[in-house]
Chain A
Amino acid sequence: MSQIAIRANKLGKQYRIGAPVARYQTLRELVSERFSSPVLRSRQDEKNNHIWAIRDISFEVEQGQVLGVIGRNGAGKSTLLKVLSRVTHPTEGYAEIHGRVGSLLEVGTGFHPELTGRENIYLNGAILGMKRTEIDRKFDEIVDFSEVEKFIDTPVKRYSSGMYLRLAFAVAAHLEPEILVVDEVLAVGDAEFQRKCLGKMSDVAQQGRTVLFVSHNMSAILRLTEETLVIEKGRVVMRAPSAQAVDYYLSKGFSQEGQRLWREDEIPASAYPFRPHSIRVLNPAGVVSDTLRSVEPVTIEMEYFLDAAVTGLRVGIYLLSTRGEFIFTSFDTDAVDQFERYAVRRAGHYISRCKIPANFLNEGRFVIGVNASAYRVKRYFHDEQALSFNVDAAGAPGMQWPEPRMGSVRPLLEWQIESV
């Protein structure tokens, strides 16, 4: 019989929104509010001012289990982790935690820029709940992992952001709590470092520790977890073996995101006669989606109006990595026949649609930019960050080796092996 590590029972957390919630109150606001509504605010009012970030969350985690948690932004994943790691209090329900909880909600918490790397290791370790002797014992290992030994006695304010992150993660990774709560820390650093972090995570899991792992990276979820909770609008909608949960999450298309609409006031006057309406990414089923699969084609649609005819117009997209590197640029009149057919585009309502083939993009987050211009005449409209979307590599070529692949593209190439 396995022991229970976490038992959550009907956990709920309510936040107050609306009027008196401004980031913080001042006494004057409090006083004036009391004056303007001398009678206690009605129950109805109270209700409208509150939202449940999570509600009715019940689940159990056995000791040694690695449980994934997935859900859209704002679904309540982070709130759940904050409640379980005691950062914030639940409004209702209760949870039983067997063991110390180490949380990696964000690495580098409590790092002080004026202190040296060495000093910050001790300070951060203590904040994360390590004993001093424990830090002494692991100090060399931490420094080694972080690869900053040369600068260990330099104030961290002189570190590059990469060094800073590596040091911060190194301390966190050497925590040895019975329960580890991880939120997206794998998203930091370069590919090489990410691989190291992922390795460290599976080590932790193999030592029989309980891990609660929140991520948007479906491949990491599949690689590291056996079971996964899907959270939607603050509630657990599914708990299943990870492959099944990821499949459900991805196929649901979680619309709304994956599309960008331009408001009138976002369009500069100089764009005339070009008037962008929307841009969206679609999965093969034609559903607008924020997360797409590497193994399936991705359709990108740009919808716009022309308020007058334009000669030589080309509407195109840039694809960029989240670090801002261009992956490619492509226009709707790249092909010669299209170019000739649309030499003059008449006023009207248009959609320019392109398809990124299957087995082309690597996993990760991508940014789409928009460019509507006439070559050497005028750039009508330009937005380098119109929309972003995720690509998931589940099932992609080479997934038999569970490692992140370098590069933004992951094409399926034709290989021949010849013995000579």
Chain B
Amino acid sequence: MEKTLSINQDDIPVTIIRPSGGWSLIHLSDLWRYRELIYFMTWRDIKVRYKQTLLGAAWAILRPFLTMVVFSIFFGELAGVPSDGVPYPIFTFAALLPWELFAHALSVGSRSLVQNSNMITKVYFPRLILPLASVLAGVVDFFFAFLVLIGMMIYYGIAPTPAVWTLPLYLLLTIVTAMGVSLWLSAMNVLYRDVGYVTPFLTQFWLFITPIAYGASLVPEQWRFLYAINPMVGVVNGFRWALLGLENAAPNQMLLISIGVSLLVLISGLFYFRRMERQFADMV
């Protein structure tokens, strides 16, 4: 046979397929090999999200903005919730920015596996890419809404504090938390469609235990540590401190607790996701 092999023998990767059992961590090398797919899936999520809508990407701005208006009227004006010395609208908007990112990641991320079931049952790729892309796509919305925040800061004449450089770190904490929760919810959703009903409720509940309409200083001293188990508390405080210079939101041990819990959720989520992964194609 004089077939010419156009394949270079040296760089042929060898894959071993065997039953996987127990707990194992995610294949990072595999994820790296598929990095372009992460980019394309994120791009698809962004591109498709506002197709055939009248206002298009404006929704990314409108959602947090309208929530801010409602909160300002009911909590700021009527209920007179204290806003620690800054105008209430910007006080709540600075918190809504990371919150919208988080809430969006929860609702889209938890559905990501089930919605793409036709891909899961047909081709191999690291399944982790699906929830990851949903979370990353939300970051783009975040930047759009951030422009509004800059506008509001100019309007109210608030200069960012020197600590504004820490903002990306708080953004990262938001993404890590959102990713961790999305991993849990998306993998559970494959087996238990109850997740679809639980998620909106969970999001609403989470909104109340996060200092968005009010300040964290409203929570009595002795409950603060328990309160900080919610990683979004650390995030929201961080945003208010770095952007608006609220001293009572400055980082302290509470932030450490938030970071710790967030990492715990992410790592346990990775393990759980990995464990459930081999059933996805059969169960979804």
Contacts and interface: CB of A to CB of B under 8 A. Distances in A.
B20 A106 contact: no
Nearest to B193: A24
Given A63-B7, A82-B281, A85-B124, A126 B16 contact: no
A105 interface: yes
Interface residues of A, number: 53
A122 B41 CA distance: 10
B278 interface: yes
A64 B2 CA distance: 11
Contacts of A26: 192-194
A208 interface: yes
A131 interface: yes
Contacts of A99: 7, 12-13
A15 B282 contact: yes
Interface stretch (B44-52, B88-96, B141-149): B44-52
A112 B44 contact: yes
14 contacts: A28-B194, A64-B5, A86-B15, A87-B121, A89-B17, A89-B19, A96-B15, A100-B13, A103-B122, A106-B122, A110-B119, A129-B123, A129-B125, A131-B36
Given A24-B190, A103-B123, A178 B36 contact: no
Contacts of A82: 281
A57 to B, nearest CB: 12
A90 B123 contact: no
Contacts of A15: 282
Contacts of A84: 17
B133 to A, nearest CB: 11
Contacts, number: 130
Interface string A198-225: 0000000011110000000000000000
A112 B48 contact: yes
Contacts of B44: 112, 115, 119, 123
B16 A95 contact: yes
B14 interface: yes
Interface in A92-145: 92-101, 103, 105-106, 109-110, 112, 114-115, 119, 122-123, 126-129, 131-132
Contacts of B190: 24
Contacts of B37: 126-127
A365 B17 CA distance: 36
B48 to A, nearest CB: 5
B14 A98 contact: yes
Contact of A97 (B14, B118, B121, B194): B14
Query: Interface size class for chain B?
Result: 35 or more
B113 to A, nearest CB: 12
B154 to A, nearest CB: 36
A94 B16 contact: yes
A270 B116 CA distance: 46
Nearest to A103: B123
Interface in B27-86: 34, 36-37, 39-41, 44, 47-48, 51-52
A30 B17 contact: no
A124 B250 CA distance: 47
A87 B122 contact: yes
B51 A114 contact: yes
Interface of B: 1, 3-7, 9, 12-20, 34, 36-37, 39-41, 44, 47-48, 51-52, 116, 118-125, 190-194, 278, 281-284
A85 B123 contact: yes
A160 interface: no
A114 B3 CA distance: 43
Contacts of B121: 87
B4 A208 contact: yes
A105 B7 contact: no
Contacts of B34: 129
B124 A87 contact: yes
Nearest to B120: A87
A96 B124 contact: no
Contact of A127 (B9, B119, B192, B281): B119
A92 B21 CA distance: 11
A109 B118 contact: yes
A98 B40 contact: no
B40 A126 contact: yes
A206 B3 CA distance: 7
Nearest to A133: B36
B126 to A, nearest CB: 10
A64 B3 contact: yes
Given A25-B192, A115-B44, A119-B47, A83 B17 contact: yes
A94 B52 contact: no
A24 B283 contact: yes
A3 interface: yes
A208 B6 contact: yes
A208 B3 contact: yes
A330 interface: no
B17 A27 contact: no
Contacts of A126: 36-37, 39-41
A147 to B, nearest CB: 24
A115 B118 contact: no
Contacts of A73: none
A88 interface: yes
B3 A24 contact: no
Interface string A209-248: 1000000000000000000000000000000000000000
A49 interface: no
B3 to A, nearest CB: 5
B228 to A, nearest CB: 29
Contacts of B278: 88-89
Closest 4 CB pairs of A and B: A86-B124, A94-B18, A89-B278, A126-B40
Contacts of A94: 16-19
A24 B282 contact: no
A322 interface: no
Contact of B9 (A3, A91, A110, A119): A3
Contacts of A86: 15, 17, 124
A210 B3 CA distance: 12
A20 B268 CA distance: 26
Nearest to B8: A178
A259 to B, nearest CB: 31
